[in-house]
Amino acid sequence: MGSFSFTKTAIPDVVIVEPAVFGDARGSFMETYNEKDFHKAGITAAFVQDNQSSSVRGVLRGLHFQRTFPQAKLVRVISGEVFDVAVDIRPESPSFGSWTGAVLTAQNKKQLFIPRGLAHGFLVLSETAEFVYKCDEFYHPEDEGGLRWDDPAIGIEWPLPVGLAPLLSEKDKVYPGLSQFTISND
């Protein structure tokens, strides 16, 4: 596994992926995904869809998941900086309700692998950010679910400046907390 390093987080199935970056006076090159290396590291998701979003400073997207068609994701930032978060919502998991997060930037080139069964969200820390991710299941809008971004039962330590409220979508403003969560909700 020469092109990547894989580091487990507080939720062992969530992995920080750091690519080897090769640079010289012309610029740089890196692999962002290599099935063989990922499989050797135990990440066997078969990705079927790539997505990209752009956001401005203070935008918080999440915490999102799909109920009956869960998605594993490999996320990264190609411009700017975000604080990326995964929350374990697998009822049988010993880490149910816990979260882990990482700062992903265009400069550090880190990626986060989030397995199926976790909710996902991110906060934009830079003026703007371009966020890209691979999914191992197609998007099903009718299957969307979400958790409240500031649920005290989860206790995510978002790096928001004091007094600054995040910019949220209308649906992100009304998602329930973990105590109201059930995977069978419609």
Residue-wise pLDDT for 114-134, tens only, equals 999 999 999 999 999 999 999
Determine phi and psi for 179, rounding to 5 degrees.
Answer: -65, -20
Q: Is 139 a catalytic residue?
A: no
32-86 pLDDT, tens digit per residue, is 999 999 999 999 999 999 999 999 999 999 999 999 999 999 999 999 999 999 9
Catalytic, 133? Answer yes
- Tell me the C-alpha to C-alpha distance, in Å, between residue 106 and each of 75, 131, 150: 12, 9, 26
The domain in which residue 150 lies consists of: 4-180
Q: According to the model, what pLDDT value does residue 11 have?
A: 97
**pLDDT of 185 over the 90 cut:** no
Write 17-22 long-range contacts (CB < 8 A, 24+).
Answer: 17/74, 17/110, 17/111, 17/112, 17/113, 18/108, 18/109, 18/110, 18/111, 19/109, 19/111, 21/109
CB 42 within 8 A of CB 32: no
Task: Please give the model's pTM, rounded to 2 decimal places.
Answer: 0.93
Q: What is the DSSP string of 7-76?
A: EE-SSTT-EEEEE-EEEETTEEEE-S--HHHHHHTT------EEEEEEEETTBEEEEEEESSS---EEEE
Contact 119, 71 (CB under 8 A): no
| In-domain check, residue 186 | no
Domain with 66 in it: what CATH number? Answer: 2.60.120.10
Residue 185 lies in a domain: no
Distance between CA atoms of 80 and 78, rounded to whole angstroms? 7
Spatial CA neighbour of 28 closest among 104, 83, 108, 128: 108
Q: Note whether residue 92 is domain-resident.
A: yes
Residue of 39, 120, 133, 175 marked catalytic: 133
Model confidence at 139, in pLDDT bands (50, 70, 90)? Answer: very high
Residue 106, pLDDT above cutoff 60: yes
Active-site position among 39, 64, 140, 175: 64
pLDDT at residue 149 is higher than 50: yes
Number of domains in the chain: 1
Domain presence at residue 101? yes
pLDDT category of residue 162 using cuts at 50, 70 and 90: confident
Q: Please give the pLDDT value at position 1.
A: 43
